[in-house]
Amino acid sequence: MPITPERLASFDEASVASLARRLEDDDYPTPFAGLSDWHLLRALAIHRPELTRPYVHLIDQEPFDED
């Protein structure tokens, strides 16, 4: 399911909590399913940050040196 403005607008606190719970449990049938949820939470953090503040730890990435 593509990430659209309408899809992002449909989220509320309960649905974001459910999304975050899935990410915390990390119990996906494929790695791509988890990545899809991660991208969705990241889009929500950009467009609806008030909903994702409690879950910022799930989308924060530590900087790393590729060398």
Express each pLDDT in 9-29 by its tens digit. 999 999 999 999 999 999 999
pLDDT at 2: 93
The pair of structure tokens assigned to 46 is: 């950009």
Any domain includes 22: yes
Q: Flag whether 62 is in a domain.
A: no
- Domain enclosing residue 51, as ranges: 5-57
Would you say residue 64 lies in a domain? no
- Asked if the structure places residue 63 within a domain, the reply is no
Q: Which helix (H) or strand (E) holds 54?
A: none
Looking at the domain assignment, is residue 10 inside a domain?
yes
Q: Is 37 inside a domain boundary?
A: yes
Query: What's the whole-number average pLDDT of the chain?
Result: 90
Is 50 a domain residue?
yes
Domain count for the chain: 1
In a domain, 44, yes or no: yes
The pLDDT of residue 65 is 52
**Contact residues for 45 (Cβ-Cβ < 8 A; gap 6+):** 52, 56, 59
